[in-house]
């Protein structure tokens, strides 16, 4: 995963909270690479079973010192994080279930918010911003003017989402800038990334089928009908860069103005 080259999976932020810091019910141990839905975890504990497993029997969480595969409860929402797009699925699950807003920054009177948002200290939502669905925004961010954020999106600290930008169902890590006239959909954008004006991620195949992406030397079905790009840390795109669905840009790479990203860039 290009997004995990410079960090461990345990520290990757889901809804701006590191994976290993997400609250778990008391008495539950979990696999370090598992995303555990809290409601499902509570149902598992109430069932009296010993081990929560996925559809193929992988242990996700358990009571006691170790997993007991002779006494299992099958998960329908929780899952192992194996591929980078699984991080999007976990983020969708967490952010979509926010049930109240926390506003520690400033929201301009002309901004429209239809959903629950968590807004960090020092962050500003500027005029003309429209937020639809649940969104998490970190500290010291500048959002807008005139941009469109759609759930379930998480934006880290010290980010800039600028004029006429649309962000949909994505994860933007800290110190990144999606400055103006860009679209980011169903994507993960790393730390200290800068998108040049007019950078567009495509996230839908013309035939509507699931996206496939290259992992090692194999094309893997992501199981996702909508899937944009995975961009590593310290990437810079030239203006009017267009990125095919399911393509990855590895850390410290860049694109030229007008470039069409048809293959992974390493």
Active site residues: 180
Distances (CA, A) of 128 to 19, 26, 35, 148, 171: 33, 43, 35, 9, 22
Tell which residue, 20, 187, 201, has the closest CA to residue 92.
Answer: 187
**What is the rounded distance in angstroms from the CA atom of residue 75 to the CA atom of residue 4?**
26
**What is the rounded distance in angstroms from the CA atom of residue 172 to the CA atom of residue 152?**
12
If one counts every other C-beta atom within 10 angstroms of the C-beta of residue 244, the result is 18
Distances (CA, A) of 101 to 59, 106, 128: 34, 13, 19
Q: Hey, what's the torsion of the CAs at 20, 22, 25, 26, to 10 degrees?
A: 50
DSSP letter assigned to residue 164: T
**What is the rounded distance in angstroms from the CA atom of residue 68 to the CA atom of residue 53?**
10
Instruction: State whether residue 21 is helix, strand or coil.
Output: helix
Tell which residue, 238, 240, 266, has the closest CA to residue 251.
Answer: 266
Beta partners for 72?
A: 51
Tokens of 113: 């918010």
């Amino acid at each position: 995963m290009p997004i995990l080259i410079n960090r461990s999976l345990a520290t990757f932020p889901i809804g701006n909270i590191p994976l290993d810091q997400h609250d778990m019910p008391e008495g539950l141990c979990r696999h370090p690479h598992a995303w555990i839905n809290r409601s499902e975890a509570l149902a598992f504990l109430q069932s009296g079973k010993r081990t929560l497993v996925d559809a193929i029997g992988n242990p996700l969480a358990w009571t006691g010192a170790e997993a007991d595969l002779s006494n299992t409860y099958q998960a329908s929402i929780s899952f192992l994080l194996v591929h980078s797009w699984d991080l999007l699925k976990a983020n969708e699950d967490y952010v979509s279930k926010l049930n109240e807003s926390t506003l520690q920054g400033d929201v301009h009177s002309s901004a429209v918010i239809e959903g629950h948002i968590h807004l960090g200290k020092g962050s500003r939502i500027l005029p003309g911003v429209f937020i639809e669905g649940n969104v998490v925004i970190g500290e010291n961010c500048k959002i807008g003017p005139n941009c469109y954020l759609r759930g379930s999106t998480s934006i880290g600290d010290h980010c800039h989402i600028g004029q006429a930008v649309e962000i949909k169902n994505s994860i933007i890590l800290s110190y990144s800038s999606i400055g103006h006239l860009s679209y980011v959909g169903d994507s993960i954008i790393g730390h200290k990334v800068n998108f040049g004006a007019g950078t567009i991620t495509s996230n839908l195949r013309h035939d509507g089928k699931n996206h496939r992406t290259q992992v090692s030397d194999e094309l893997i079905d992501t199981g996702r009908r909508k899937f944009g790009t995975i961009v590593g840390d310290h990437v810079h795109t030239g203006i009017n860069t267009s990125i095919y669905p399911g393509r990855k840009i590895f850390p410290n790479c860049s694109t030229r103005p007008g470039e069409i990203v048809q293959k992974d860039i390493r």
